[in-house]
């Protein structure tokens, strides 16, 4: 597939953006609130003033030269292994919500919801990654929360994991846990950690510590950033792009100085902001532009890129939720993002994960993937003999070619309501959410636990108790 979106970002534009990033890194600098991080930079010749690190273009280029273009993330079972950076997107569900929604009723998320969403992720035909942050349950004591969330992914899933990255120690403990359950070799990449910068132009103690832990353990790192235009980033698109990408690159540089060659991805889910309320606007046209330019910059530097997903600011499942999610996901896939977080479920600007939206976003991904996939050009597809055979003004319904190809020739959504109005009315006029909830209950009822030996199961069960 020719990437028309990225082709529209010209080389001279990328050169100018890069020059702006270099000026920010070298003249404004990035604040690192972590002493060990500052010591790493200082050991490689960076100028440090107070807690601000000034990074030269030479140091930037040296660090970026060791970032691999792709890597394989391992699941517990090899059939779930995924290569990141090979041109095929990797999908991860929602990240960070504390509320859940079903039947358009919002409530605080619980441990049982975390388990339910872990099950839905494992038996998804679309999603590739188990995510402990798919929901933060509010009924779990804080001292048990992080390992419980990671354990839920490992008990109810066999796919590769995202990691809990709440500081150096938590990150280390979760890497150790994932390796003890899923790893086949000490050199395996078994989990990926998402790091969020503190916009503008800073990393706090916790996130910098997590970068260090991931780099020491040689596990892949996504350097994410989110600038709220007009609040934590300049109001102009290019100004916000330059500051947030400088943040992401500074994190990548730190990781490479600690462990050259550790896989890193850049990511930027900055969107618009509604200045009436100073709130994020993630289901926005700006979100689409950030996806396009961030992927273009990743290609410019030569490493993989993380994108947003089915993002929406809607508070419930309605037209706004569907249209915004389709717009952002279409742009993300058309830009050929390598790794997509928030692929399913997001409502209310990251705050809510919706049960129905989880399934509907999967269908959206399937729909867009089909629309962007090049159609076959073999003789069967061209059907020239058939076209000659069928008389003018006749029909193809009863022809064998139609029967042989009708199940595969088109994308047929499983959840959408189609058919005649009169038939729908006679069936009680079911809504789309009615249809989705039937499918949701069926899918959860049919879930089966992935295979795991008794000793590892006992360890995870212990961590899941609270």
Looking at residue 2, its pLDDT comes to 46
Asked if residue 6 has pLDDT above 70, the reply is no
**pTM, to two decimals:** 0.96
Contacts of 428 (CB under 8 A, 6+ apart): none
pLDDT tens string 62-99: 999 999 999 999 999 999 999 999 999 999 999 999 99
What band does 222 get if pLDDT is binned at 50, 70 and 90?
Answer: very high
Residue with tokens 């779930």: 80
Asked if residue 1 has pLDDT above 50, the reply is no
pLDDT tens string 295-336: 999 999 999 999 999 999 999 999 999 999 999 999 999 999
pLDDT tens string 13-25: 999 999 999 999 9
Read off the pLDDT of each residue in 255-272 and give the average, rounded to a whole number: 94
Read off the pLDDT of each residue in 160-184 and give the average, rounded to a whole number: 96
CATH of 71-372, one of 3.20.20.480, 3.10.20.30, 3.40.228.10, 3.40.50.450: 3.20.20.480
Q: Where are the domains of the chain?
A: 71-372
pLDDT tens string 132-157: 999 999 999 999 999 999 999 999 99
- Let me know: does 289 contact 307? Beta carbons within 8 Å: no
Read off the pLDDT of each residue in 198-212 and give the average, rounded to a whole number: 98
Looking at residue 144, its pLDDT comes to 96
């Amino acid at each position: 597939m020719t990437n028309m979106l990225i082709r529209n970002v010209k080389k001279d534009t990328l050169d100018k953006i890069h020059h702006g990033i270099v000026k920010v890194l070298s003249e404004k600098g990035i604040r690192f609130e972590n002493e060990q991080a500052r010591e790493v930079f200082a050991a490689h010749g960076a100028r440090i003033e107070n807690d601000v690190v000034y990074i030269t273009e030479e140091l930037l280029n040296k660090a970026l030269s060791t970032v691999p273009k792709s890597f394989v993330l391992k699941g517990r079972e090899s059939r779930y292994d995924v290569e990141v950076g090979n041109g095929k997107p990797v999908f991860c569900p929602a990240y960070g919500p504390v509320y859940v929604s079903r039947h358009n009723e919002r409530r605080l998320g619980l441990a049982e919801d975390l388990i339910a969403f872990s099950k839905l992720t494992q038996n998804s035909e679309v999603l590739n990654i188990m995510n402990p942050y798919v929901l933060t349950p509010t009924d779990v004591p804080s001292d048990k929360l992080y390992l419980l969330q990671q354990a839920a992914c490992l008990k109810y899933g066999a796919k590769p994991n995202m990691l809990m990255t709440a500081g150096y120690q938590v990150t280390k403990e979760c890497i150790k846990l994932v390796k003890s359950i899923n790893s086949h070799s000490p050199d395996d990449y078994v989990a990926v950690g998402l790091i969020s910068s503190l916009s503008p132009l800073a990393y706090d103690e916790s996130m910098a510590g997590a970068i260090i832990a991931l780099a020491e353990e040689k596990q892949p790192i996504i350097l994410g950033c989110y600038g709220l235009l007009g609040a934590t980033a300049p109001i102009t698109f290019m100004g916000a792009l330059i500051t947030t990408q400088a943040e992401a690159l500074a994190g990548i540089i730190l990781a490479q100085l600690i462990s050259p060659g550790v896989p890193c991805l850049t990511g930027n889910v900055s969107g618009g902001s509604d200045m009436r309320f100073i709130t994020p606007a993630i289901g926005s046209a700006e979100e689409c532009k950030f996806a396009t330019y961030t992927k273009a910059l990743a290609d410019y530097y030569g490493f993989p890129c993380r994108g947003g997903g089915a993002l929406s600011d809607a508070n419930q499942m309605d037209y706004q939720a569907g249209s915004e999610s389709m717009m952002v996901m279409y742009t993300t896939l058309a830009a050929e993002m390598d790794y997509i977080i928030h692929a399913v479920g997001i409502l209310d600007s990251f705050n809510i994960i919706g049960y129905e939206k989880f399934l509907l976003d999967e269908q959206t991904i399937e729909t867009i993937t089909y629309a962007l996939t090049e159609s076959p050009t073999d003789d069967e597809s061209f059907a020239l003999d058939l076209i000659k055979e069928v008389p003018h003004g006749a029909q193809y319904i009863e022809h064998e070619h139609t029967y042989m190809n009708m199940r595969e020739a088109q994308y047929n959504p499983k959840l959408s309501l189609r058919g005649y109005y009169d038939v729908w009315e006679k069936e009680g006029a079911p809504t789309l959410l009615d249809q989705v909830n039937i499918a949701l209950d069926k899918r959860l009822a049919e879930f089966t636990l992935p295979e795991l030996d008794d000793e590892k199961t006992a360890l995870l069960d212990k961590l899941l108790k609270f």
